[in-house]
Chain A
Amino acid sequence: QVRLHQWGAGLLEPSETLSLTCGVYGGSFSVYSWAWIRQSPGTGLEWIGQITHSGGTNYNPSLKSRVTISRDTSNNQFSLRLNSLVAADTALYFCARVRRDGYNRFLRFDYWGQGSPVTVSS
């Protein structure tokens, strides 16, 4: 059974950098892509980006300039960094496993972390 567990700081000030990590337990890590998604009260679910099985990255165009997703294959973990935080970044952040059957047109998320609440406030 695949389980994702995420952690990181939850209260940050404007202009600071968000850092979250997601650990993957059970199943294979290196053959899958892994993603970050957030849920805001005002805007619903938003895809932040993902890191592919080969280490490449895809980011949401609206966040691309501020986002970095990386991975540590030796520890089956992947991480999110979002810099220059603003209040609108306040959200519940999720990590998730990507399934794509070889093509992005089939992309979906089948296993999710428990969620990390992040508040950006001075």
Chain B
Amino acid sequence: QSVLTQPPSASGTPGQRVTISCSGSSSNIGTNSVNWYQLLPGTAPRLLIYNNNQWPSGVSDRFSGSKSGTSASLAISGLQSEDEADYYCAAWDDSLGGFYVFGTGTKVTVL
């Protein structure tokens, strides 16, 4: 059902910068704030970025978010081995009476 499209995978070596894209539409990203979540194996999802580019308390500023039109992106700078995880964008969608939608997810691998 996801209407937010992400690349299935991304990778980089330690210290590099990795960027993940998230493509949506006018009813979700085009109108509403984008959030990013990190999923590590065996753990609950963690909110990384909210309101397009804001950090929750305790989140490293190596993670940064941006939005333009109906697309958003997450950048991870100074890539570290512990950043190897699945990343999901998400936003409220105003269609069909309103619902929250997650992206298709991107697996980040640290080479």
* Chain A residues within CB distance 8 Å of chain B: 35, 37, 39, 43-47, 50, 58-62, 94, 96, 99, 104-110, 112-115
A58 touches B88 (CB 8 A): no
- Which residues on A sit within 8 Å (CB–CB) of B103? 44
Q: Are B2 and A62 interface neighbours, CB within 8 A?
A: no
Structural contact, B90 and A108, CB atoms closer than 8 A: yes
Give 18 new A-B contacts, CB below 8 A, not counting A39-B45, A45-B105: A37-B45, A44-B2, A44-B88, A44-B102, A45-B90, A45-B102, A58-B98, A60-B100, A62-B1, A96-B45, A104-B98, A106-B50, A106-B92, A108-B35, A108-B51, A109-B37, A110-B56, A115-B44
Say which residue of A39, A47, A105 sits within 8 Å of B99 (CB atoms).
A47
Task: State how many angstroms separate the Cβ of B58 from the closest Cβ of chain A.
Answer: 11
Report B-chain residues with C-beta under 8 Å of the C-beta of A107. 32-33, 92, 100
Question: Min CB distance, A92 to chain B, in Å?
Answer: 9
Give chain A residues whose Cβ lies under 8 Å from the Cβ of B86.
44
A contact residues around B56 at 8 Å (CB): 110
Q: Is the CB of A94 within 8 A of B45?
A: yes
Asked if residues A45 and B99 are in contact (CB atoms below 8 Å), the reply is: no
Chain B residue numbers with a CB within 8 Å of A96 are 45
Tell me which residues across on chain B come within 8 A of A109, comparing CB atoms. 37, 45, 47
Complex contact A58–B32 (CB within 8 A): no
Contact indicator B99/A61 (Cβ below 8 Å): yes
Are B2 and A43 in contact (CB-based, < 8 A)? yes
